[in-house]
């Protein structure tokens, strides 16, 4: 270790997170479980392809219902 080496800097936020993890050891597992619930989904590619094919093209001006009006 060098004589001039400073201790590693940790921001207040990093210190808070480290303290939180130490106080609640199961926190990361709970976060992963929540992420799995909301984000990590398997995609049904067949259904997605059917939905893409069933899409109706949008008209240039969606609020105009009468096509004879110019």
Q: How far apart are CA 3 and CA 17, in angstroms?
A: 30
Residue 2 has pLDDT above 80, yes or no: no
Residue 3: pLDDT band by 50, 70, 90 thresholds? confident
The DSSP output letter for 59 is: P
pLDDT at 70: 53
Does 51 or 61 have the greater pLDDT score? 51
Q: Where are the domains of the chain?
A: 22-57
The answer to whether residue 59 scores a pLDDT higher than 80 is no
Q: Would you state the pLDDT for residue 1?
A: 61
Q: In percent, how much of the chain has pLDDT > 90?
A: 53
Measured CA to CA, the distance from residue 45 to residue 60 in angstroms comes to 29
Neighbouring C-alpha atoms within 13 Å toward the C-beta of 65: 0
């Amino acid at each position: 270790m060098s004589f001039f080496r400073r201790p590693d800097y940790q921001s207040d936020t990093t210190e808070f997170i480290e303290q939180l993890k130490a106080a609640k050891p199961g926190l990361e597992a709970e976060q992963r479980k929540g992420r799995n619930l909301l984000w990590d989904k398997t995609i049904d590619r067949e259904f997605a392809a059917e939905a893409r094919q069933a899409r109706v093209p949008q008209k240039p001006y969606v609020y105009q219902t009468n096509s004879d009006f110019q």
